[in-house]
């Protein structure tokens, strides 16, 4: 009997020693969920990505650094024009506005509805259409730029200042990724703006019907059905710039990138990363 107890004690001791050296494994239900994917490398001078409904910032890099915004400037031009005049107003193109020609070759003296010139400005990023809008609304481009800067102040865009309506490189013409996100969120509340920035192609005509122009978007991301805007830009100094909006699973992501490398591929990857994070967090 005594020998059996000693043998049993030895077995128990051996078992306990074995258990002590087993690796500690947490129960499955307590395991920390894996990240949906690694945090991506940002290849841009500045970037800011936010979920608009919650205001949650998902990615940022140099978001308050002042940089040239190229044609992302036209978002402010559109916002000022929408507040200043009705879309059905007839605009006679001022000869002084035809300084920077686009491939659509707007001509001095032609008449278009303001709506159509703004469509050319937002869909095709036509600089001559942009200048025509500015001269019509402001009386001259300098006065219009004053209106742009006044609006920037009212929106609290403390790191933004404009020197022209279209986005050409110039001293004192700058913005930030964070400011541009705030500006774009405001502009997207305007139904006309929201519709135009998700438009792939649109025809416009002069008021007399003598000339028709077929506009095509500069935003290649719009071929993705989840992408619904917003604007592209490029100058030698600014590099390739982009503001992209994606709506999926009740989340609306807004991505602002300044001087972005591999613009289309990287924007797509970053937007999909943001959606994956939000999907994982919502369970």
Buried b (16+ CB within 10 A) or exposed e, 37-48: eeeeebbbbbbb
* Residue 236 covered by a domain: yes
Residue range 202-213, pLDDT digits in tens: 999 999 999 999
CA distance 163 to 169: 9
> Domains in the chain: how many in total?
1
Residue range 232-253, pLDDT digits in tens: 999 999 999 999 999 988 899 9
For the entire predicted model, the pTM comes to 0.86
Q: pLDDT tier at 101 (50, 70, 90 boundaries)? A: confident
* Residue 11 covered by a domain: no
CATH number at residue 207: 3.40.710.10
pLDDT for 32: 37
Q: How many other CB atoms sit within 10 Å of the CB of residue 109?
A: 9
* Residue 108 covered by a domain: yes
Residue range 42-75, pLDDT digits in tens: 999 999 999 999 999 999 999 999 999 999 999 9
Residues of the domain holding 192 = 43-281
pLDDT for 219: 97
* Residue 30 covered by a domain: no
pLDDT for 279: 87
* Residue 24 covered by a domain: no
Q: Which of 43, 61, 74, 217 is catalytic?
A: 74
pLDDT for 261: 96
> Which position has the higher pLDDT, 35 or 100?
100
**Dihedral sign of CA atoms 127, 128, 133, 136 in order:** positive
Q: Is 245 a catalytic residue?
A: no
Q: Which of 35, 53, 61, 71 is catalytic?
A: 71
Q: Is 9 a catalytic residue?
A: no
Residue range 5-52, pLDDT digits in tens: 334 433 334 433 443 333 433 333 333 344 456 889 999 999 999 999
* Residue 6 covered by a domain: no
Q: Is 71 a catalytic residue?
A: yes
SS (H, E, C) 12-72: HHHHHHHHHCCCCCCCHHHCCCCCCCCCCCCCEEEEEEEECCCCEEEEEECCCCCECCHHH
* Residue 118 covered by a domain: yes
CA angle 124, 125, 130 (to 5 degrees): 120
Q: pLDDT tier at 193 (50, 70, 90 boundaries)? A: very high
* Residue 25 covered by a domain: no
């Amino acid at each position: 009997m005594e020998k059996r107890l000693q043998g049993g004690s030895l077995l128990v001791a051996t078992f306990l020693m074995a258990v002590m050296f087993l690796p500690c494994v947490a129960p499955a239900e307590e395991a920390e969920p894996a990240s949906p994917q690694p945090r991506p490398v940002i290849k841009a001078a500045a970037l800011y990505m936010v979920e608009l409904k919650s205001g949650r910032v998902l990615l940022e890099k140099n978001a308050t650094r002042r940089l040239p915004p190229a044609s992302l400037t036209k978002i402010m031009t559109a916002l000022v024009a929408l507040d200043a005049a009705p879309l059905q107003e007839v605009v006679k193109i001022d000869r002084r506005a035809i300084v920077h020609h686009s491939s659509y070759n707007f001509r001095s003296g032609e008449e278009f509805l303001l709506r159509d010139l703004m469509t050319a400005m937002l869909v095709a990023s036509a600089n001559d259409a942009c200048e025509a809008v500015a001269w019509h609304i402001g009386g001259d481009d300098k006065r219009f730029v004053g209106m742009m800067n006044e609006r920037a102040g009212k929106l609290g865009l403390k790191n933004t200042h404009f020197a022209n309506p279209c986005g050409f490189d110039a001293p004192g013409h700058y913005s930030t990724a964070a400011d541009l996100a705030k500006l774009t969120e405001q502009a997207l509340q305007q139904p006309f703006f929201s519709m135009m920035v998700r438009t792939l192609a649109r025809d416009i005509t002069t008021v007399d019907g003598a000339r028709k122009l077929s506009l095509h978007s500069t935003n290649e991301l719009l071929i993705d059905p989840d992408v619904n805007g917003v604007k592209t830009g490029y100058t030698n100094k600014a590099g390739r710039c982009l503001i992209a909006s994606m709506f999926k699973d009740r989340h609306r992501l807004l991505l602002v990138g300044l001087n972005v490398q591999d613009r289309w591929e990287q924007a797509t990857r970053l937007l999909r990363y943001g959606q994956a994070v939000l999907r994982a967090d919502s369970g």
